Structure 1
Amino acid sequence: MTHFLPDGSPSDTPTLHYHLMGIGGIGMSAFARLLAARGQRVSGCDASASDLTAQLQAEGIEVAVGHGAAHITAAPFGPIDVLVASEAVPKDHPELVAARAAGTEVRPRMALLDELLDVPDSVGVIGTHGKTTTTSMIAVALAGAGLDPAAFVGGIVPEFGSNARVGAGPFVAEVDESDRGFAALRCGTAVFTNAEDDHVGGNQATYWETVEEQHAGFARFVAQSGRVLLCADWPGLDALCAGNPHRVSYGQAAGADYRAVNLRPDADGTDFTVTVHGAVMGMARVGLPGTHNVLNALAALAVTHLHGGDFAQAAAALAAFRGPGRRWQRIGELNGALVIDDYAHNATKVAAAVQAARQTGRRVRVVFQPHRYLRTQQSWPRLADALMDADEVLLLDIAAASEPPIEGIHATLISQRMAEQGHAATRYMPDRAEVVRTLRDTAGPGDIIVTMGAGDVWKLSRELAGVPA
């Protein structure tokens, strides 16, 4: 197998021309940057132009808007050596067909990540919640502790100004379980945050048929890793990690190897004490509210300690960290109200985001956009329950994400259940202009407004705060 050096230094790997389908996506764009930093020629295409594709072009990476078989063989891109595509791309797509006909290697996205991870000091972050934030925190903590991590992240990390970082190592990567190929990957340390039933059901290429099949994928990934750092607070993880004898745990649970104790939350984050095997390592702070972010930061500090980094410097870097894009991202203010945008889109993430908002002590006003018809069909009662602790909820229509509608599945299922359970301030409000008018007329200094969901609800946060989308 070909290996890339995490620091971008020369290797015996020949220079190849990689063409990435969907290069404007958060994962593919990170691949493009890492490959280019290693001296490979990189081009790509996407269905539409975006800020990310513009940034890649400014960095010297060739990008075409639209897809076509000519990208494989004809100028200005072709002929290419390797076509990289995710499992979500249909096998009869013209570019894949053209590549096979030309004898061009078609490399799955996960196979490319496997090449990057297959080094002794790599760190792969898995789990159904918190991967992007935890991966970002690990990279930031390692860099703060005096190490030089390389990173592959599913979000823009403000400290790096990018979703990728080139460095001498360790190499830290977010490993997405929505691509079933993840289970075959190997890494030095697997960081396992949690395991739930996200990306399960339906006939999509990026979904698992059953939760048992998905969890078996987690177990395989962990068993192939050099060691696993698992969250002791999440039920069932220890059993999924039984195939790896080198287990280390983190959490608030009494038996965890790395523990966060004496939590002291405030409006902007949480101070806490870190212990390892009962001995105090030091004080730490996470500048993002919510207990889940304490656990994410604890995982980052544990990884840093396992790699010999300085604890105090890592803790200082995390105290200054304000989160990757769309993960509790502070957008601005409206009439003195704080405007936050968050990617939360399943019930556990939504409940955590609402809890984080409550920690600020403000009136919690959520604009929620359900994501996908299948996900809503599977979880609308849990989504309704997760939103109950918000003071007010304005519900948008479901973001389809290319799915066809499912009869009887509608955002009003959530609002109706909430009303039946006694929530008096939940409204279905599909007209976005009405959402903006309502909040502009009623927002005040004691409020926090959180736009929440995996669709395009983020645009409303920018409109409310008066900043460019």
Structure 2
Amino acid sequence: MIGIGGAGMSAVARILLDHGAAVSGSDARDSDELRSLEAHGAVVRVGHHADALHAAGAAPEIVVVSKAAIPADNPELVAARDSGIPVVTRSQVLGHLARAGRSIMVCGTHGKTSTTSMLIAGMTAAGSDPSFAVGGMVLQFGTNARGGADPVFVAEADESDGSLVHYEPDVVILTNAEPDHLDHFGTAEAYFEVFDTFLARIPATGALVACLDDEGSAERARRAAARGVRVVGYRTVTGPENDLPVVAELADVVVDADGTRAQLTLDGRTRTTMHVGTPGEHMVLNSVAALLAAREVAGTDAFDLDGFLAGLSGFGGVGRRFEPKGEIALDGGSVRVFDDYAHHPTEVSAVLGAAREIVEADGGRLVAVFQPHLYSRTRIFAEEFAAALSLADRVVVLEVYGAREQPEPGVDAGLITRHVTSPVDRASDLDTALEVVTGMIEPGDVVFTLGAGDITTLGPRIVAGVDTAGSGH
């Protein structure tokens, strides 16, 4: 596996190892993930060299690559092709694993990782042992993937490079759909077409579990239904009316520091209280999607509703999704620090909206520290990012984390900061952001670091920096 330390690749590696396959791989840099895979039984190498193909003592039967990340001149990839070793993509392997039994795949512009993780937590609490692959660390299991004993496979279906159209799932969750990854797709229409193609692959025996509160998801579901796909809809009672089947409805949503509670009506008659241990209306909506998908696989009569609900209530969260990084004792009070992967305006708005309800209950301020991810995304959504960040009381915006993109003239943090209506600071790098944040925070504040880049390292530094100093002033 070339690039075995990546989130998606490492998940597949773990499942293969759990099922008894011999796995070797390489990555450009050493990492905790690489060491963890080694402890799990993989043979790993740091650096890309042709001889890494024989690291396990013999040539591999197949070589796996992540299509989006591995350059064509990678020496291991070149050596594999020269030797006639079949080269397949991670998504092809994932699709093969999913076809071994009943499969649930989670797609959508936002919420895939959280929804998949809730699904696994609920199914496990209800007595199932599925195989799973998640794009983040499921904190209560301490891993992003596992090969389970039951013939059920649960995974995210990532639309970012279009590879999800190759999967053949039994049940699909569609959390939402709005334009993203336009650097790859070019137009919103092309982006939506990938979802439509994927959903049309659901068999007659399967189902699409779709959020009907979301306009994009509802439209995708409507098109899938026209192609003969059975739609299982869920929504809040205040959501828009539509002509699709509504199987689950949420009412009386309450967000607090302990998570989110709501009243669930199922099949128009069963009414029960739902609780998920992560704040946000979007989180409890995602949990309903997970419940409905699990019920589709288990069967309505065999489904352990109480067990699944208990699993949701005890859900420990996902790494980089509303993840607590520490609490700082400060001037007779405290400051809580969280980290979140939010890197699209809708995600930032959802996270800060949920955080706002917690902050207002405690009487403090909400401080958002945001690192834009990709120049193209920053250029396209600058004003939307600014509107979302303005939900915070104080805002710090770092310069753009380019990742795979080269800088674009005129595209920088200023595109966002000029439209933010809350007090805002601009930070050239993580060190500057650390200095700004530790100098402004006050007792009762809640700090969120947001973004898909290396800003994830900032939260622990804020906690350590203020604890060391004894005061943020």
| Structure-1-length-normalised TM-score | 0.90
| Alpha carbons of structure 1 residues 431 and 111: separation in structure 2 relative to 1, 3 Å | closer
- Whether 2:180 is the aligned partner of 1:193: answer no
CA distance in 2, matches of 1:314, 1:31: 26
> Paired residue for 1:126, among 107, 111, 115?
107
Corresponding residue of 1:40: 21
Deviations along 1:391-437, whole A, 9 cap, x unmatched? 1110111111031100110011100122xxxx241111224333323
- Residue aligned with 2:185, SS: coil
> Paired residue for 1:297, among 287, 299, 317?
287
Deviates more, 1:257-266 or 1:138-147: 257-266
Deviates more, 1:312-321 or 1:406-415: 312-321
Q: Amino acid of the residue matched to residue 249 of structure 1? A: G
CA distance in 2, matches of 1:319, 1:265: 13
Q: Amino acid of the residue matched to residue 411 of structure 1? A: A
- The answer on whether the counterparts of 2:101 and 2:153 sit within 8 Å (CA) in structure 1 is no
CA distance in 1, matches of 2:58, 2:185: 35
Corresponding residue of 2:60: 80
Corresponding residue of 2:384: 382
> Paired residue for 2:316, among 322, 325, 335?
322
> Paired residue for 2:4, among 10, 17, 23?
23
- Residue aligned with 1:41, SS: coil
Corresponding residue of 1:452: 450
> Paired residue for 1:245, among 211, 229, 234?
229
CA distance in 2, matches of 1:158, 1:391: 29
Q: Amino acid of the residue matched to residue 289 of structure 1? A: P
Q: How does 1:395-434 map to 2 (within 5 A)?
A: 395-418=397-420, 423-434=421-432
CA distance in 2, matches of 1:424, 1:248: 40
- Whether 2:193 is the aligned partner of 1:209: answer no
Q: CA deviation at 1:264?
A: 2.3
Q: How does 1:130-145 map to 2 (within 5 A)?
A: 130-145=111-126
Deviates more, 1:324-333 or 1:164-173: 164-173
CA distance in 1, matches of 2:140, 2:95: 25
Q: Amino acid of the residue matched to residue 96 of structure 1? A: L
| Structure-2-length-normalised TM-score | 0.89
> Paired residue for 1:260, among 220, 235, 250?
250
Deviates more, 1:430-439 or 1:379-388: 430-439
- Residue aligned with 2:419, SS: helix
> Paired residue for 2:45, among 59, 64, 82?
64
Deviates more, 1:134-143 or 1:250-259: 250-259
Q: CA deviation at 1:159?
A: 1.9
Deviates more, 1:351-360 or 1:207-216: 207-216
Q: Amino acid of the residue matched to residue 314 of structure 2? A: A
Consecutive aligned runs of 4 or more in structure 1 exceeding 6 Å deviation: none
| Alpha carbons of structure 1 residues 283 and 169: separation in structure 2 relative to 1, 3 Å | farther
Identity among equivalent positions (%) equals 39
Corresponding residue of 1:392: 394
Corresponding residue of 2:471: none
- Residue aligned with 1:58, SS: helix
Corresponding residue of 1:436: 434
Which ranges of structure 2 fall in alignment gaps of 5 or more residues?
468-473
CA distance in 2, matches of 1:75, 1:34: 20
Corresponding residue of 2:341: 343
- Residue aligned with 2:52, SS: helix
Q: Amino acid of the residue matched to residue 16 of structure 2? A: L
- How large is the Cα RMSD of the aligned pairs? 1.8
Which ranges of structure 1 fall in alignment gaps of 5 or more residues?
1-19, 202-206
Q: CA deviation at 1:444?
A: 3.1
- Residue aligned with 2:411, SS: coil
- The answer on whether the counterparts of 2:13 and 2:23 sit within 8 Å (CA) in structure 1 is yes
- The answer on whether the counterparts of 2:18 and 2:146 sit within 8 Å (CA) in structure 1 is no
> Paired residue for 1:53, among 30, 34, 45?
34
Q: CA deviation at 1:250?
A: 1.2
Q: CA deviation at 1:196?
A: 1.4
Q: Amino acid of the residue matched to residue 290 of structure 1? A: G
